[in-house]
Structure 1
Amino acid sequence: MYINYFRFIALAKSIFTSNWKCLLIFLLVMVSVPIANARELDSISMTSRLFAIKNQHFVKAYLLKNKRNLTEIKKKSAQPFHLIDAIFKAEGVPIQLRYLVVVESELNTRAVSRVGAAGPWQLMPATAKLLGLKITAHRDDRMNFSKSTMAAARHLKGLHEKYANWLLVVAAYNCGDQSVLDAIKDSGSCNYSVLEKYLPTETREYVAKYIATSNFFEGSCRLAVF
């Protein structure tokens, strides 16, 4: 199948900016990596591969530290991922975003954060209610895997309608709309590589963790570690 390599190189350059060494390494590696079709060049999966190389030191350290835990999560992920994939496909959300649930809760439906986020997708009460979930003294739909996944899919889709960039969606899922909008305004760009330094440190690390986790589950670790 024909692939627009000029578009591909432009995408890589926009991510690596002035880091020509990493860009060259990526292009050399990709010669041996089959690309199913041209659409993959714009996918969150391809973007994750690019950023895994740009942030290879963080990715390598994160995977070395968390490999055992991620391996255990992967062993029990087939059933929940099957459900997530079906819901995400129905909502038009890339299935690669399923790895957010690993970063958020490690697939734990009973997870509760110190700030009040709960369930596998760690939804805050206000966000969950806006997405149609019920939260009462006797019921919390955030801890229902199916219902919370449908809510998360709607939330992710809504964010993408606003930003038209899945990596910005990942960032916004962590820090909220306003922080991403402020970063866009302050940087004058919608390119994550340009605006990331204007995001909270926690969010930059969150995006990097998502990318590392995505590469681990997708079997692309060899692209991230040299």
Structure 2
Amino acid sequence: MKMNFKNIFAGLLLLGSVGVVNGQFLSASDTSENSVKRYKNIINANKEIVDFIENSLAQKGLPKHLRNLALIESHFNRNITSGAGAVGVWQFMTAHANQYGLSEQNRNDIYKSTKTAVISLSKLYKKYNNWVTVVAAYNCGEGNIAKAMSAAGSNQYHVFYKFLPNETINHVNKYLNACYATDELQSVLTDYNNARLNTVFFVNGGSGKNIGSLSETEINAGFNLNIIADELKIDVNKILAWNPGIVDELQSKGESTLYLPMDLMPDFLLRKNKILSRSLKEVK
């Protein structure tokens, strides 16, 4: 039934949004010869580190263009420290590093920090389903992304970006420029546009009336739907209505896609760890 929603309304998503897919919602802001040359020169000057990063990404099934995140973060300089205290090639803040078990002193270790970055980026992609939002979240944090989504009433970067810090907006622009220089921009934008199809319309009783839009995330059988409802201050029957068959799917497969209205999804993502913790305690 969920797939039917996607198939039926995919065209409406494309037609009803501002712009068209082929024209792209996002693009590189600097495609000058000097910009392309600058990025390529930095990559060529750090070939050994770049090769290691690309291999580490490929081993985990991540696209090689994510090497451009390290490119714009640090120019591959493992000894750099930002004014805010971020350290190393991946510019880890202490709190971010500790979250993944990377010690403060190992933030400039190219091997350990890259391993940590790969884990962090994988987790972010599972959450946001597109690399543009991942790059934004890597820069400003998941909390700021959730606030921006809530303020904009949308989980699409080209809509909520205006509610992000200017530094983050510029960071994403730099990433797109770097990907243009490495001939990978189209791959990033295609990934972004494909992710838009993961937002589906919820239709009331087959009447064809759009009563809202749902965005999706993945949950496992550890989540208790009643606790999700309690944390979001809604009736659990609403969750069941938005997610027909979810109970059976969680029981049989151990995981399922969870659909929630776009205005509720940021709240769920902010409370996700708390909800899971409460759910597991209730099982005990």
| TM superposition score normalised by structure 1 | 0.68
Q: Secondary structure at the match of 1:59?
A: coil
Q: Distance in 2 between matches of 1:69 and 1:59?
A: 12
Q: For structure 2, which runs of at least 5 residues remain unmatched after alignment?
A: 1-6, 187-284
Q: Which amino acid aligns with 2:99?
A: L
* TM-superposed deviation, 1:68: 4.7
After the TM superposition, which residues 57-96 of structure 1 pair with which residues of structure 2 at under 5 Å, given as runs? 58-60=29-31, 63=32, 66-96=35-65
Aligned counterparts of 2:147 and 2:34: Cα–Cα separation in 1 = 33
Give me the CA root mean square deviation: 3.1
Task: Return the alpha-carbon distance in structure 2 between the equivalents of residues 72 and 165 of structure 1.
Answer: 27
Q: Is the 8 A contact 2:148 2:163 kept in 1?
A: yes
Deviation at 1:172, TM superposition (A): 0.2
Match of 1:218 in 2: 183
8 Å CA contact 2:36–2:180 kept in 1: the answer is no
User: What residue ranges of structure 1 are gaps of 5+ in the alignment?
Assistant: 1-5, 27-49, 222-226
Normalised TM-score (structure 2): 0.56
Shift of 1:152: 0.6
Structure 2 counterpart of 1:18 = 18
- Mapped partners of 2:27, 2:139: distance in 1: 19
The offset of 1:90, in angstroms, is 2.5
2:106 match: 141
CA deviation digits over 1:69-107, x for unaligned, max 9? 323212224322221122112333222111000100001
Deviates more, 1:147-156 or 1:87-96: 87-96
Matched, 1:126 2:95: yes
Number of residue pairs aligned between Structure 1 and Structure 2: 180
Post-superposition offset of 1:219: 6.9
Structure number with larger C-alpha Rg: 2
Larger RCO (alpha carbons 8 Å, 6+ apart): 1
Counting strand residues as a fraction of each chain, which structure ranks higher? 2
Shift of 1:117: 0.2
Deviation at 1:187, TM superposition (A): 1.4
Q: 1:177 to 1:69 in 2, by over 3 A?
A: same
